[in-house]
């Protein structure tokens, strides 16, 4: 896959887990950010084809990051990977512009299924 993937999570360990899963799914071009504010800066300075973000982070949440990316007019797929699984939170994320949702912990197979659904060349 040629899409550059932005992985956003305040946990360095979780970023490594997500990147390892992406690599196993054929996504080798990744860039990391530790929070939504850093991610927005990276997003605006790079050609990003996919965003995988956590919800709860310092400085700017994944939800606020999603709103900011959508406010730029971008249609890039954004996946929320989070422990927030309550129905109301999922609806809130969808309304903000999330493309899809994956709850932690996730399996390699679950992530790959989401990737295949939205990243066909």
Eight-state DSSP code of residue 3: -
- What is d(CA 43, CA 90) in angstroms, rounded to the nearest whole number? 23
pLDDT band at 118 (very low <50, low <70, confident <90, very high): confident
- pLDDT given at position 121: 46
The pLDDT value given to residue 1: 45
What percent of the chain has pLDDT above 90? 78
* pLDDT classification of 86: cutoffs 50, 70, 90: confident
Domains observed in the chain: 5-118 (3.40.50.2300)
Quote the pTM value.
0.93
Please report, to the nearest 10 degrees, the dihedral formed by the alpha carbons of residues 30, 22, 13, 4 taken in order.
10
CA 12, 18, 110, 108 torsion-angle sign: negative
6: β partners? 31, 51
List the beta bridge partners of residue 82: 103
Q: Are 62 and 94 in contact (CB under 8 A)?
A: no
């Amino acid at each position: 896959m040629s899409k550059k993937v932005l992985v956003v999570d305040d946990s360095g360990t979780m970023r490594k887990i997500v990147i390892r899963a992406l690599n196993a799914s054929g996504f080798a071009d990744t860039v990391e950010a530790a929070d939504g504010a850093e991610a927005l800066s990276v997003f605006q300075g790079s050609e990003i084809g996919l965003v995988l973000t956590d919800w709860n982070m310092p400085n700017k949440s994944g939800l606020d990051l999603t709103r900011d990316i959508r406010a730029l007019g971008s249609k890039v797929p954004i996946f929320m990977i989070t422990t927030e699984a309550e129905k109301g939170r999922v609806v809130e994320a969808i309304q903000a512009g999330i493309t899809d949702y994956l709850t932690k912990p996730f399996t390699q197979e679950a992530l790959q299924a989401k990737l295949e659904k939205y990243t066909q060349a």
